[in-house]
Amino acid sequence: MKLKIFTLMAALAAALIPAPLLAANQDLSRLEETARKFVAGELAQRKARWTIGRVDRRLAVPACDALFAGWAQGARQTGSTFVDVSCPSLGWSLRVPVSISETRVGVVANRALRAGETIGPDDVRLVDMPEGSATQTVLGDLSLAVGQTMTSGVPAGGWLRSFMVKAPVVVKMNQRVKVLAIGEGFMVSADGTAMANAAAGDSVPVRMGAGRVIRGTVREDGAVIVVF
């Protein structure tokens, strides 16, 4: 008798469940493939190796005709991270684990460089950086090195780090410089004397002819810009 009652209750429950909930469950392999295609597109321009993890096979959601994949909110795009695959029409979302191992490149000196030298294009090259190395301060682009001035020496084959280089001085102390005063609707030029060494983009004090000292920003051509 108890078995008959249980069977009857199960049949009634099934009859009361809306039809969409009785639909086939989502193929989780297809869901993982959607995540795989998304990551492949996202990392196509990066030197990275990656693997897609498996979704827990105990999970079950209704099958969806239009899956959408994107990085999980707040997730990093490197290391151990996640992609969310969702079905907007049915309102569900599952998280797929992703492991990304990225090959970084760094700037290496082709020859021994001394403090005060200006780095030329033949002085440096890019090489792959080994995993796990202390890479945080290593320059990752040749444009960050070429044309810069060394603040300390580095042997041939050594990594160039951010604290080893600085922008070259374009204005020297006691050098005569052109000062351009720029404001709304006007520009006036005059000559002055720089009171310190400065690189492009630096702020430098300039003594004008009447003895007044002003401060402006050094341009790459050595002119000093004062904005009013």
* Domain range annotation of the chain: 21-102, 104-166, 169-227
Query: What average pLDDT score do residues 25-42 get?
Result: 94
pLDDT of residue 104: 81
pLDDT of residue 133: 58
Amino acid type, 226: V
- Is the model's pLDDT at 20 over the cut of 50? no
Name the phi and psi angles at 174, rounded to 5: 70, 10
Same fold, 104-166 and 169-227: no
Residue 9 class from Cβ within 10 Å (0-12 exposed, 13-18 middle, 19+ buried)? exposed
pLDDT of residue 48: 82
Q: Select the more confidently predicted residue: 22 or 155.
A: 155
Query: What average pLDDT score do residues 175-204 get?
Result: 91
Out of 15-29, 56-70, 186-200, least confident range: 15-29
Fold exhibited by the domain 169-227: SH3 type barrels. (2.30.30)
Is 0.85 topped by the overall pTM?
no
pLDDT of residue 204: 93
Query: What average pLDDT score do residues 96-115 get?
Result: 91
- Is the model's pLDDT at 12 over the cut of 80? no
Q: Which residues of 82-111 are buried (b: 16+ CB within 10 A; e: fewer)?
A: bbbbbbeebeeebbbbbebeeebbbbbbee
- Is the model's pLDDT at 138 over the cut of 50? yes
Name the residue among 42, 46, 50, 154 with its Cα closest to residue 105: 46
* Contact partners, residue 91, CB within 8 Å, separation at least 6: none
Asked if residue 218 lies in contact with residue 202, where contact means CB atoms within 8 angstroms, the answer is: yes
pLDDT of residue 137: 87
pLDDT band at 132 (very low <50, low <70, confident <90, very high): low
CATH tag, 104-166: 3.90.1210.10
Length of the chain: 228
DSSP class of residue 54?
A: P
The mean predicted confidence, pLDDT, of the chain is: 86
Query: What average pLDDT score do residues 51-58 get?
Result: 92
Tell how strand 169-171 and strand 198-199 pair up: antiparallel
- CA-to-CA distance for 99 and 221, rounded, in angstroms? 47
Amino acid type, 124: V
Q: Return the ∠ at Cα 54 (arms to 53 and 56), rounded to 5°.
A: 135
* Contact partners, residue 112, CB within 8 Å, separation at least 6: 153, 154, 155, 156
Residue 103, SS3 per DSSP:
coil
pLDDT of residue 119: 95
Asked if residue 150 lies in contact with residue 121, where contact means CB atoms within 8 angstroms, the answer is: no
Query: What average pLDDT score do residues 3-22 get?
Result: 41
